[in-house]
Structure 1
Amino acid sequence: MAKDLLFEIGAEEIPAGFMPNILGQLKQLAITKLNDAHLPFESIATYGTPRRLALIVTGLADTSADISERHKGPSASIAYDTEGNATKAAIGFARGKGIDVADLVVEDGYIYAETKTAGVPAKNIVADLLPELIHSLNFPKSMHWGNLDAKFVRPVRWLVALLDEEVIPVEFATVTSSNVTRGHRFLGADEIIIANPASYVQTLKDNFVMVDQDERRQVITDQLHVIANEKNADIVWDDDLLEEINYLVEWPTALCGGFEDSYLSLPDAAIITPMKDHQRYFPLVNKEGKLLPMFLTVRNGSNHSIEVVQAGNERVLRARLDDAKFFFNEDRKKSLIDRQEGLTKIVFQEGLGNLADKTERLLQLGRVFAETCGLHEDATVVLERATELAKTDLTTGMVTEFTELQGVMGKEYALLDGESEAVAEAIFEQYLPRFAGDVLPVTEAGKVLSIIDKIDNIVATF
């Protein structure tokens, strides 16, 4: 009779960025180890929240399959003497395969040993397999805790291992398995008995833990869009941000917050970056694409006292935007061209001088590439001006505080300084592409500036 297996590793909060890879590893390791053990199953699913990793195997066979194997031995001329008696070579080969020498088979001039291994009960296989899963997982960073030698992504606090209703004994870092898990840190019960693997997902849901990450992601998406529609607004969508939020919460509840209109005088990037990269908020825009003084975020909990949570998020964002406003106003006291002297104070690379030295190298490279690439005279002028200003935004308070804005604020400040749109765009495009799948430069000057900047990084460094 087929059985179901549940294995849950309960831990302190796991970094959201690690979760997709860990769940993928857990599933693939389980598939590989079950196949290696010749233990059939119907399906495997992995679930994850900030506090738990879970594996559910359905339709697990009672025992592993019987294994029949055929082992090739030495040639028959070596295995038997001229009178047909088995030699030491044949006797040793048979003993090694656990069979009687009389059961050896001769075929094609060689001897063969045919062996059969009886299936092993699933309980025994699983008891050995589950600890292997824990030890086989790899993480970008692991932790020791207490005085233990065990390592894991975060300290392990509980283990659940069930084969149908039976607890499978597993121990890791002094924690022993049981049928007891934990609910939401604040809303659920501290101890929850899991009757069997089939009831796991619903039992946790009853305790405010939406363990299925796909369901959780869809709930978050739906909640965000409902609120945005109520506000007659569109979301500045980001799939990576959604994925991160998905692994930061166990019971998602979306909410909308706001900030003062006065902050909208800042460049959009100076508002959006603190929202998305620092606070994990989704900005909202109107139907014309103009930024609104509102944001969406997701709480890890119910809607109880949601207005208090909203006020707290607004207060934190207001402090971030105050910082941005201060840095912006301070930066505007000096134009980009007047910031060139500041480049001498920023080391590019030991042995390769400062950013002023790098800028000089880029200017020389730009002249060569402009000619080689056949740049038009106007584009060449744009390239030289953009190269002079390319690194100057790295001296600004805004980029120092929000490093993600390098190039972005360079473009904004260049436009405010009265530089041409072509120059401003090239300053932004110098860093493109920033990652695999990113947009590429489109202007002629931007393309060349992007290339020479990367060539200088590679050639000068190596």
Structure 2
Amino acid sequence: MTSDTHNLLVELFVEELPPKALKKLGDSFAGVLAESLRAQGLATAESQATAYASPRRLALHLSGVAAKAADRSETKKLVPVSVGLDASGQPTQALIKKLASLGLGAEQAAQAYREMDGKAEALFIQTTVAGATLAEGLQKALEESLAKLPIPKVMSYQLADGWSDVKFVRPAHGLVALHGREIVPVGVLGLSAGRETRGHRFEAAVERLVIESADSYAAQLREQGAVIASFAERRAEIVAQLNAAAAQQGLRPIEDEALLEEVCALVERPNVLSCQFEPEFLAVPQECLILTMKANQKYFPLLDAAGKLTNQFLVVSNIRPADASAVTGGNERVVRPRLSDAKFFFDQDRKKGLADRVGGLAKVVYHGKLGSQGERVERVRAIATAIVAQLGGSATLAAEVDSAARLAKADLLTDMVGEFPELQGIMGGYYARHDGLSEAVAFAIEDHYKPRFAGDELPRNEAGLVVALADKLETLVGLFGIGQLPTGDKDPFALRRHALGVVRMLSERAPGLALDALIRAALPAFGPLIQDPSAPLADFVFDRLAGSLREQGYSAQEVDAVLALRPQRLAEVGQRLSAVRAFAALPEAASLAAANKRIGNILKKVETPVEAKVDEALLQEAAEQHLATALRNVQPLADGLFHTGEYAASLRELAALKGPVDAFFDGVMVNAEDPALRANRLGLLKTLHEAMNRVADLARLAA
């Protein structure tokens, strides 16, 4: 890199960018630009990249950027020696043509040297490649950055010449490119780089900001343009103002990362203002009010210390008038019709009971091959009944489960859920209470979609757990049964999320239920509609479980060792993993794991099935006698501990087998010529293999 090094600033000034995509657009624009400049040798790994993204701009500040990249030496392969040189060692026409294609003259043939290329010799030459100028490199980097932007939807617009069309996320109106104080002559989207940009639409001190240097950009935008260019700084400012405004009233703003990111992408200089609505609206379920304020208005509702909604809310404004009453009054007027709609929906919905809506589900299509929501409800009821039987549940539980399963989807036909699909289940719980149903049934209806996302809470009661399991199993078995599997990133029915929900419920709340038995119990509900998907569905669930366990910090070896045995009671998996980790720390572990792997390989090569059976009379060698005796002593202890769930202790007992196992492989020929001896020794190894692999497949721990 040359000594003419300065900091670089690149800004693309555009019309308002899509708020939900702004952060990704900003990170991508800056990230690809910086990486491209580094790759071209114009910046180094130490060059600090700072991304800027506001509603009307994407920008990058990159430190330590050279005016020209250093020249670099490059090795070029020419042609095989047999092609490039004649019998007297002189260059052939083929070599001269190859040199010409690289921009080199025939006289440079003398600089070619021989080197092995695979099994034959070839001719190579060292060339010097001139380093790119910043103008060349930045032009390339800009084009690459724009091509790679994760644009949600492309716009097509006309340039000022009235002829040319450009496709981009939003119409672009300005380009700034400064290397220190100097303009870098580049252009994209019909724009030529300069040093002028614009600040806040309404509150900038000047109409056009003249950026003095790369390093003055952020400060000039803040001071002259009334814009906080950094997404992260703007977000932090919003959080600070929200917390301060809420604290003044002894309240706290609702936590919603997605809302915070979206609001940050809507304002250039945030100004948080306090507003309120009429207290009578609080008679509507708070989930409805919170959702309508967040989704429709981008407001931050305020909660009291108990987490209950108040009639206060915060607005993040993009302007700072001396008198903010017009702004707060306008927002209060705007939210009132939204809350009135929510109240109207709630009042209207309660005029018809959930039970009266169930019949209407027969007219709602669930899936072309799986029928209506009404048919789906009947399948969920049947699966839920089977789960209660597996749990050995009481008659009371069976009645609660059946009632909840029958009514759980009825709120899909309500006005409130029609307006806000996110409230499905939640509204069913409220309407169930209004209909006089028990809290157990109301909770089960409300919770049957849980867990809705990673980290979400599980259903609160046993009835809710059963209905949630039945609902997810119906989805998984049904869609796998018609071949509707997720592919790549596409998972329109959220089957991965459903599978993880099943994993969590079986692991954390239902230790007595086995996965294979649950899948089998779900099959009869579908009749001839589906093919049996048990095997691929089980694989899918175990794949999700494996991924979840690795995210929790277990190693791939530990997870593979435990899940190789496909333990059907997922609640045991955590204990098994802990036991495997403790076993792996024992000094005997590596040797036993290697022996276990060796035994597995030996048994795989045997063409006929091997019985885990040993005839004491056929034990001839001392080493095999000692192993059989050690196994006879250890196996009952290990098995007993396994059956009581003491997995770590069960594996510890196996440590005593290390010596006898090592001696056996050192001194005994397994494949003896005598068929009876060979079969007996294989039976001994089979017995040992089964004893060692009750908790996990220990061979997976072998290096």
TM-score (norm 1): 0.92
Q: Of 323, 331, 337, which aligns to 2:355?
A: 337
AA partner of residue 446 (structure 2) = F
Q: Deviations over 1:62-105 (max 9, x none)?
A: 21122112234444455434432233444344444444110011
Distance 1:142 1:452 in 2: 42
The question of 1:154 aligning with 2:170 is answered: yes
Structure 2 equivalent of residue 425 of structure 1: 443
Q: Of 213, 216, 220, which aligns to 1:196?
A: 213
The question of 1:320 aligning with 2:338 is answered: yes
The question of 1:18 aligning with 2:36 is answered: no
- Contact conserved, 2:53 with 2:229, CA < 8 A, in 1? yes
Distance 2:291 2:393 in 1: 34
The question of 1:138 aligning with 2:155 is answered: no
The question of 1:205 aligning with 2:222 is answered: yes
AA partner of residue 89 (structure 2) = G
The question of 1:67 aligning with 2:72 is answered: yes
Structure 2 equivalent of residue 405 of structure 1: 423
Q: Deviations over 1:17-49 (max 9, x none)?
A: 101211221123113321332222422221111
Q: How does 1:239-388 map to 2 (within 5 A)?
A: 239-350=257-368, 352-372=370-390, 375=393, 377-388=395-406
- Contact conserved, 1:97 with 1:113, CA < 8 A, in 2? no
Could you say what secondary structure the match of 1:150 adopts?
A: strand
- Contact conserved, 1:158 with 1:181, CA < 8 A, in 2? yes
1:251 CA displacement: 0.7
Q: Deviations over 1:168-226 (max 9, x none)?
A: 34444444332211111111133211112111111111221111111111111111111
Q: Deviations over 1:418-458 (max 9, x none)?
A: 22222222222222233344334354433343343334345
Could you say what secondary structure the match of 1:348 adopts?
A: strand
Distance 2:332 2:102 in 1: 72
- Contact conserved, 1:46 with 1:56, CA < 8 A, in 2? yes
Distance 2:29 2:318 in 1: 25
- Contact conserved, 1:148 with 1:173, CA < 8 A, in 2? no
Q: Deviations over 1:104-131 (max 9, x none)?
A: 1123444221111122322232234323
- Contact conserved, 2:361 with 2:410, CA < 8 A, in 1? yes
Gaps spanning 5+ residues in structure 1: where? Answer: none
Structure 2 equivalent of residue 85 of structure 1: 90
- Contact conserved, 1:94 with 1:113, CA < 8 A, in 2? no
Q: Of 113, 124, 129, which aligns to 2:141?
A: 129
Structure with higher strand content = 1
Call closer, same or farther: CA 1:15–1:375 in 2, change over 3 Å: farther
- Contact conserved, 1:431 with 1:450, CA < 8 A, in 2? yes
Q: Of 157, 181, 198, which aligns to 2:197?
A: 181
Matched residue count: 462
Could you say what secondary structure the match of 2:128 adopts?
A: strand
- Contact conserved, 2:139 with 2:187, CA < 8 A, in 1? no
Structure 1 equivalent of residue 610 of structure 2: none
Distance 2:394 2:152 in 1: 48
1:393 CA displacement: 0.8
Distance 1:175 1:453 in 2: 55
The question of 1:452 aligning with 2:452 is answered: no
Distance 1:21 1:434 in 2: 25
AA partner of residue 151 (structure 1) = K
Distance 1:35 1:361 in 2: 59
Could you say what secondary structure the match of 1:134 adopts?
A: helix
AA partner of residue 347 (structure 1) = V
Call closer, same or farther: CA 1:404–1:182 in 2, change over 3 Å: same
1:351 CA displacement: 5.1
1:148 CA displacement: 4.9
The question of 1:167 aligning with 2:183 is answered: yes
Q: Of 128, 132, 137, which aligns to 1:120?
A: 132
1:352 CA displacement: 4.0
1:332 CA displacement: 1.5
- Contact conserved, 1:184 with 1:208, CA < 8 A, in 2? yes
Q: Deviations over 1:391-417 (max 9, x none)?
A: 111111211122221111111221222
Structure 2 equivalent of residue 56 of structure 1: 61
Distance 1:382 1:19 in 2: 47
Structure 2 equivalent of residue 101 of structure 1: 109
Could you say what secondary structure the match of 2:380 adopts?
A: helix
1:320 CA displacement: 1.1
Distance 1:365 1:284 in 2: 41
Gaps spanning 5+ residues in structure 2: where? Answer: 485-703
1:366 CA displacement: 2.3
AA partner of residue 225 (structure 1) = N
Structure 2 equivalent of residue 389 of structure 1: 407
Distance 1:456 1:334 in 2: 28
For structure 1, which segment, 338-347 or 304-313, has the greater mean C-alpha deviation from structure 2 after superposition?
338-347
- Contact conserved, 2:448 with 2:468, CA < 8 A, in 1? yes
Distance 1:332 1:176 in 2: 62
TM-score (norm 2): 0.62
Could you say what secondary structure the match of 1:237 adopts?
A: coil
- Contact conserved, 1:97 with 1:115, CA < 8 A, in 2? no
AA partner of residue 210 (structure 2) = I
- Contact conserved, 1:426 with 1:445, CA < 8 A, in 2? yes
- Contact conserved, 1:427 with 1:446, CA < 8 A, in 2? yes
Could you say what secondary structure the match of 2:199 adopts?
A: coil
Call closer, same or farther: CA 1:170–1:115 in 2, change over 3 Å: closer
Distance 1:76 1:174 in 2: 50
Distance 1:371 1:139 in 2: 52
Distance 2:348 2:101 in 1: 81
AA partner of residue 149 (structure 1) = D
1:380 CA displacement: 3.1
Paired-residue identity, %: 38
1:155 CA displacement: 1.7
AA partner of residue 33 (structure 1) = S
Could you say what secondary structure the match of 1:344 adopts?
A: helix
- Contact conserved, 1:161 with 1:178, CA < 8 A, in 2? yes
Call closer, same or farther: CA 1:145–1:373 in 2, change over 3 Å: farther
Distance 1:148 1:351 in 2: 49
Could you say what secondary structure the match of 1:151 adopts?
A: strand
Call closer, same or farther: CA 1:371–1:172 in 2, change over 3 Å: same
AA partner of residue 199 (structure 1) = S
1:303 CA displacement: 4.0
Call closer, same or farther: CA 1:61–1:169 in 2, change over 3 Å: closer
1:300 CA displacement: 0.7
AA partner of residue 144 (structure 2) = E
- Contact conserved, 1:95 with 1:101, CA < 8 A, in 2? no
- Contact conserved, 2:42 with 2:68, CA < 8 A, in 1? yes
Distance 2:253 2:401 in 1: 35
Could you say what secondary structure the match of 1:178 adopts?
A: coil
Distance 1:220 1:332 in 2: 39
Structure 1 equivalent of residue 37 of structure 2: 34
AA partner of residue 32 (structure 1) = E
